[in-house]
Each structure stands twice: as C-alpha cells, then as structure tokens.
Amino acid sequence: MKQYVVDQLRYPDFEKLKAFLDQAYGPAEMGGIYWICLEEGLLTPVQAEHRECHPLVAAIDLQETRLSLELLVRTRNRIRCSCIAYADDQQRSWLIDRVDRMLAQLEISV
C-alpha cells in the first residue's frame, strides 16, 4: 500500500489531531480510520463517470504514535471497481497538502 506517514507523534499531538479529525470528518470508524472526500475537480475521467461510486475517498489512519494517509482513492460503496486506483499526481499532491496544512494549523512539527 502506498502511504504518506507521519510517525513519532507525541501523545498531545495525537490528541490535537484526533479532535481536529473528529470535527472535520466525523468520529473515526474502525479504530482510527477517517475518510477524506476528494473534490469533484480532482477526479479522473473514469472516477467522474462512476456517479454511483461517489463519494470517492482516501483513508487516514490515526494511531497514538503515527498518522498514515493511504494514497488509494476508493469508493465506500463497492469493494472492486475500475474507479478505485492509486491517487494520480494531482490527487496525491492535494491529499498530502491537506495533511501538511493540518499539521501546520495544529502547530505540530515532525
């Protein structure tokens, strides 16, 4: 799995991240899993066509000592579909930028 990982988090940073993610994306599912919906303008042509698969999301897994952003764009409606794929360059940049801005906003230096 391709991921963007921020590790060696301190517990106070974990608490800040959890509070932020809970507010921005709702309570975590399955442990520390949060879902980030990709904006429509970021979708590939195949992803945009698959309206029944929307919203398309990427997962953030928050644990006490690390945050990992999966770079797989997926639907939560199906297990397999041709619209599920690793983030392209634009999507990857957008997702990583979201995490980096969140860390900066929360004044978490890693």
**What average pLDDT does this structure show over 16-34?**
93
pLDDT (0 to 100) of residue 31: 86
Amino acid at 93: S
How does DSSP classify residue 7? E
Strand, coil or helix: what is 110?
coil
Compute, in degrees rounded to 10, the torsion defined by CA atoms 15, 21, 27, 33. Answer: -90
Give the pLDDT confidence of 51-101 residue by residue, as tens digits.
999 999 999 999 999 999 999 999 998 889 999 999 999 999 999 999 999
Look at residue 110 and tell me whether its pLDDT is greater than 80.
Answer: no
Q: In sequence order, what are the residues at sequence separation of 6 or more whose Cβ sits closer than 8 angstroms to the Cβ of residue 107?
A: none
